[in-house]
Amino acid sequence: MGGEGYIPLFETTRARGTLAYRVFASTIFLGICMIWAYRLSHVPSEPEHGPIWVWFGLLAAELWFGLYWVLMQACRWRLVYRRTFKDRLSHRYDKDLPGVDIFVCTADPAIEPPMMVINTVLSVMAYDYPPEKMSVYLSDDAGSNITYYALLEASQFAKHWIPFCRRFTVEPRSPAAYFRSPSSDQLSANGKNEELSAIKKLYEDMKNRIETAHELGRISEDIRSKHKEFSQWDSYISRQDHNTFLEILIDRTTRKAVDAEGNALSTLVYMAREKRPQYFHNFKAGAMNALIRVSSAISSGRIILNVDCDMYSNNSESIRDALCFLMDEERGDEIAYVQFPQNFENVTKNEQYSSSLRVISEVEFHGLDGQGGVLYIGSGCFHRRDTLCGKKIGREVITRWSENSGIDPNGGIYKPEELKKLASCSYEENTEWGREMGLKYGCPVEDVITGLSIQYRGWRSVYFNPRRNAFLGVAPTTLLQLLVQHKRWSEGDFQILLSRYSPAWHGLGKISPGLIMCYLPYCLWAPNCLPTLYYTIIPSLCLLKGISLFPEVTSPWFIPFAYVIFCKYAYSLAEYLWSGGTVLGWWNDQRIWLYKRTSSYLFAAIDTVAKLLGFSETAFVITSKVAEEGVAQRYEKEMMEFGATSPMFTILTTLALLNLVCFLGAALTGFASGGAGFFGSMLLQAILCAVLILINLPIYHGILRKDEGKMPISTTVASTVIAVSACTIFVSF
């Protein structure tokens, strides 16, 4: 292994311009220090500068922002990019490729329609990989017989779809995505129209049958009589109360597992683990752990890929890409998992909800990779089965890929009843599952905490971001969905910080200090709400009252403020554009940044504290993947969607109105008292307030709009009352 004549399977390159960036960042840091110095040296003594706590509050907020900015630099300090050599892999290992088990998780047929789920399943079944070494598992946490029926239909359709993919090297291999992509037009232009229409017809027929069943909400007698396994559902009580349903739809150990052309097909398994009201189900982590056990008895692939049911594979070669890292003779043995970015199909040009997480996937994750390993983000990730099950890094893990190519020698010798036990509620009692084994329980971001604990055991991880997206999913299409999603993420990350896996006090000596710094900004998302709220409220109120909080334009202390603000935003714009966004997209990103901090993060922080004090339980809210007609239209038009009452909207509207009142009030007083002098001493504050108004334009628009997605009247009224009273109270004291 390795040594002489070793030719790597992947290559790592450093980003260029790192030195220039570091110098630039250092000058910003200098500016930040000067801002701190200004705050400390100019503590006001006369009472006309307002109460002293205002000043110290600003100092605290600026200290926080400055230190947070320093932490953020760790993810930009050493960016690395990866490239794979799949031809070398095929050349060296073609006969010895390991078994790969693919887990697809779904949780609710109403939110994640069965057609979407099976398109994802079909796209991964069609990977360019030896089918006898690949097994696909669908975990259905709703235990829905409709989803099972859809998968049954998909297993029949796969017999035609996979040979079709192979014959015409179809890309992408999700049928729905392929039929709407230009490459299918290409095929018909090449005179293969007949084949294309034939497969399209099969697909449409299947789609009709599934959607009919979905709408009816039940399976017809006709189908039930043909497929005895539906009788399993006779005992179904509710989503929270049912037996294990487990069915091997395609079993590669039997001779029936062949496609229409007689080639082998990969194994396909449906699993709905047992659910009982008296056992907590642990959300997706619980499903994943049941899948790990069930698959270990069926196929026991050495590599596990997990994808969310809305993330179809857009590249049939991704398994080989991932194996280039895991099987590299020299460095592969220290890599626990290979994470691909989550990319989204549904983003509009200027991404008004900024849901593509552009900067995170194009910049920050490359930085984490450079510091020792990216986060595990729950979808599009290839794991070693061993590490997921708690194995420490060490000599004995050196994997001999050639022996027993990952297929369990006992594969295929399983009794259905034994298998079902593995997915039962009581199986995990008094075991290490959810702690040392499998994914961790008790955290809303089970993926991140699991990835972190793997890194604590000495492993590193790799981030692979190929130009052609490997996985494509559906992004949230309303503001509320986005805010709820971020509440869960920030709450989970904050809980990690306070848990016994905290990077802050548990990470030292286990992972590099650079990586600790990279994790911290994510873990500190939630507490960010306080300084942000302070900065969006207090300076504006002080503007209204005529209290100056920032240096005058003529003062030399003005320079560090101007420099830091200008450089930070100019750089952030450049970074966003460089990541492939638009200028308007960046502006929208700034708005969402503010909205997340003042609403999602605030509720996340409150809930985390409440949970620490023993008040509430976590509730895992999945964000909807289907959009109603009007919502979808407004989404396409990039019009912000409110339309629901939510305390989050009340806060956002209150802040928007408060700043408007302050600015208008201050403008009136300013003109009354002679204008120029007033604004000269208040310039930064006035700019801050004006920018907050500009960024909130969609909210004012939402208040005035008439369509379904407008801001609810009750929210507007409540917010107006709160904003006006806050201004009145502050001014009169």
Ligand X SMILES: *[C@@H]1O[C@H](CO)[C@@H](O)[C@H](O)[C@H]1NC(C)=O
For residues 56 and 44, the answer to whether their CB atoms sit within 8 Å is: no
Whole-angstrom distance, CA of residue 404 vs CA of residue 32: 58
In a 13 Å sphere around the CA of 229, the CA atoms on its Cβ side amount to 15
Q: Which is nearer to ligand X, 463 or 635 (CB)?
A: 635
Q: Which is nearer to ligand X, 299 or 465 (CB)?
A: 465
Whole-angstrom distance, CA of residue 641 vs CA of residue 652: 13
696 lines the binding site for ligand X (CB under 6 A): no
Q: Which of 126, 627, 660, 684 binds ligand X (CB under 6 A)?
A: 627
Contact region for ligand X (CB under 6 A) — 224-232, 241-249, 505-513, 627-635? 627-635
Contact region for ligand X (CB under 6 A) — 1-9, 36-44, 340-348, 352-360? 340-348
Q: Which of 468, 647, 673, 675 binds ligand X (CB under 6 A)?
A: 468
Least CB distance from residue 544 to ligand X, whole Å?
41
Strands (E), 651-721: none
Least CB distance from residue 322 to ligand X, whole Å?
17
Q: Which is nearer to ligand X, 317 or 386 (CB)?
A: 317
Contact region for ligand X (CB under 6 A) — 1-9, 234-242, 343-351, 646-654? 343-351
Residue in the structure block whose two tokens are 């849901």: 355
Least CB distance from residue 271 to ligand X, whole Å?
27
Whole-angstrom distance, CA of residue 8 vs CA of residue 370: 18
Least CB distance from residue 262 to ligand X, whole Å?
27
Q: Which of 195, 317, 345, 575 binds ligand X (CB under 6 A)?
A: 345
Contact region for ligand X (CB under 6 A) — 40-48, 206-214, 324-332, 469-477? 469-477
Whole-angstrom distance, CA of residue 616 vs CA of residue 637: 39
Contact region for ligand X (CB under 6 A) — 93-101, 242-250, 466-474, 519-527? 466-474
Q: Which of 155, 299, 461, 477 binds ligand X (CB under 6 A)?
A: 477
- 167 CB contacts (<8 Å, ≥6 apart)? 195
Q: Which is nearer to ligand X, 342 or 536 (CB)?
A: 342
Q: Which is nearer to ligand X, 345 or 408 (CB)?
A: 345
Least CB distance from residue 353 to ligand X, whole Å?
12
- 356 CB contacts (<8 Å, ≥6 apart)? 343, 344, 347, 475
Q: Which of 300, 318, 455, 469 binds ligand X (CB under 6 A)?
A: 469
Contact region for ligand X (CB under 6 A) — 17-25, 104-112, 157-165, 341-349? 341-349
314 lines the binding site for ligand X (CB under 6 A): yes
- 154 CB contacts (<8 Å, ≥6 apart)? 118, 121, 122, 206, 268
Least CB distance from residue 170 to ligand X, whole Å?
8
Contact region for ligand X (CB under 6 A) — 134-142, 468-476, 569-577, 710-718? 468-476
Whole-angstrom distance, CA of residue 324 vs CA of residue 304: 15
For residues 297 and 283, the answer to whether their CB atoms sit within 8 Å is: no
Whole-angstrom distance, CA of residue 246 vs CA of residue 60: 56
Q: Which of 369, 447, 493, 607 is catalytic?
A: 447
Q: Which of 530, 632, 644, 683 binds ligand X (CB under 6 A)?
A: 632
Segment 510 to 539, residues that bind ligand X, using CB under 6 A: none
Whole-angstrom distance, CA of residue 272 vs CA of residue 274: 7
Least CB distance from residue 183 to ligand X, whole Å?
6
Q: Which is nearer to ligand X, 96 or 317 (CB)?
A: 317
Q: Which is nearer to ligand X, 632 or 683 (CB)?
A: 632
Least CB distance from residue 344 to ligand X, whole Å?
9
Query: Which residue's Cβ has the minimum distance to ligand X?
Result: 171
Segment 182 to 241, residues that bind ligand X, using CB under 6 A: 183
- 484 CB contacts (<8 Å, ≥6 apart)? 600, 621, 623
Whole-angstrom distance, CA of residue 379 vs CA of residue 616: 28
397 lines the binding site for ligand X (CB under 6 A): no
Strands (E), 455-557: 460-463, 471-473
Q: Which is nearer to ligand X, 101 or 641 (CB)?
A: 641
Q: Which is nearer to ligand X, 97 or 474 (CB)?
A: 474
Whole-angstrom distance, CA of residue 139 vs CA of residue 142: 9
Q: Which of 101, 141, 321, 589 is catalytic?
A: 141
Interface size with ligand X, residues (CB under 6 A): 14
Produce one character per residue of 673-685: b if its CB has 16 or more CB atoms within 10 Å, e if not.
eeeeebbebbbbb
3-state helix, strand, coil split of the chain in percent (to 5) is 55, 10, 35
CA proximity to 699, closest of 715, 722, 721, 718: 715
Least CB distance from residue 343 to ligand X, whole Å?
6
Three-class secondary structure of residue 212 per DSSP:
helix
Least CB distance from residue 182 to ligand X, whole Å?
8
Least CB distance from residue 472 to ligand X, whole Å?
6
Q: Which is nearer to ligand X, 172 or 411 (CB)?
A: 172
Q: Which of 145, 346, 352, 481 binds ligand X (CB under 6 A)?
A: 346
Backbone angles phi, psi at 405, to 5 degrees: -70, 45
Contact region for ligand X (CB under 6 A) — 237-245, 342-350, 535-543, 567-575? 342-350
Q: Which is nearer to ligand X, 472 or 564 (CB)?
A: 472
Q: Which is nearer to ligand X, 422 or 474 (CB)?
A: 474
CA gyration radius, the chain:
28
Q: What is the DSSP code string of 311-345?
A: -EES-TTHHHHHHHHHT-TTTGGGEEEEEPPPEES
Q: What is the DSSP code string of 368-385?
A: HHHTT-PPP-SSSEEEEH
141 annotated active-site:
yes
For residues 286 and 407, the answer to whether their CB atoms sit within 8 Å is: no
Least CB distance from residue 341 to ligand X, whole Å?
11
For residue 614, is it left (φ>0), alpha (ψ between -120 and 50) or beta?
left
Residue 329: alpha-carbon gap to chain centroid: 31
What is the amino acid identity at position 732?
Answer: S
Segment 157 to 176, residues that bind ligand X, using CB under 6 A: 171-172
Element (H, E) at 80: strand 80-84
447 annotated active-site:
yes
The residues binding ligand X (CB under 6 A) are: 171-172, 183, 314, 343, 345-346, 468-469, 474, 477, 627, 632, 635
Query: Which residues does the annotation mark as catalytic?
Result: 141, 447
